């Protein structure tokens, strides 16, 4: 066990080799490489249990666990496709595990179905507005 811990510490203490910085919203890969890594969502057939709500001038999906509260809360941030039924389903799954889950919409209602649409929606996110939305999900009274 000591050897595994030592190896883990050594691995973490050595910086990764430098790579050339890129001007991209996709990190160290090109936009085409990023698109190729992300398959389009499959239509979700699960029955949804939460509800769409208004949150700080945008939409969100709220799923509350059964039973009396209070419940711990968690904010769900969608992937690059937007707030689709797949994300709503995951919020429901978190609620079934006892979490009050609120899935925020950072794309103002846009739900992408192709990688090109998803990339365009991701690039149009207003970071200040996204921060306000996430903050409102954390503390709705502060919005």
Taking only the tens of pLDDT, the chain with its 143 residues reads 343 333 333 344 444 444 444 455 667 778 777 766 666 666 666 788 999 999 988 999 999 999 998 999 999 999 999 999 999 999 999 999 999 999 999 999 999 999 999 999 999 999 999 999 999 999 977 66
Helices and strands (H and E) in the chain: how many: 5, 4
Residue 79 in tokens: 């992937």
pLDDT value of position 41: 62
pLDDT value of position 47: 86
Rounded distance, CA 143 to CA 108, Å? 17
pLDDT value of position 8: 36
Taking phi over 0 as left and psi of -120 to 50 as alpha, with beta for the rest, 98 belongs to left
- What global pTM score does this model have? 0.72
Confirm if 61 and 83 have CB atoms less than 8 A apart. yes
How many other C-beta atoms can be found within 10 angstroms of the C-beta atom of residue 5? 9
């Amino acid at each position: 066990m000591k050897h595994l811990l030592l190896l883990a510490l050594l691995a973490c203490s050595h910086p990764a080799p430098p790579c050339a910085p890129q001007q991209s919203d996709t990190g160290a890969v090109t936009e085409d490489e990023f698109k190729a890594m992300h398959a389009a969502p499959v239509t979700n057939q699960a029955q949804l249990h939460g509800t769409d709500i208004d949150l700080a001038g945008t939409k969100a999906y709220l799923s509350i666990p059964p039973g009396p509260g209070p419940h711990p809360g968690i904010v769900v941030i969608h992937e690059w496709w937007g707030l689709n039924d797949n994300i709503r389903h995951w919020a429901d799954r978190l609620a079934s595990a006892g979490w009050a889950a609120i899935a925020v919409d950072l794309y103002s209602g846009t739900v992408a179905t192709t990688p090109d649409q998803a990339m365009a929606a991701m690039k149009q996110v207003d970071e200040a507005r996204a921060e306000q939305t996430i903050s409102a999900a954390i503390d709705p009274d502060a919005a």
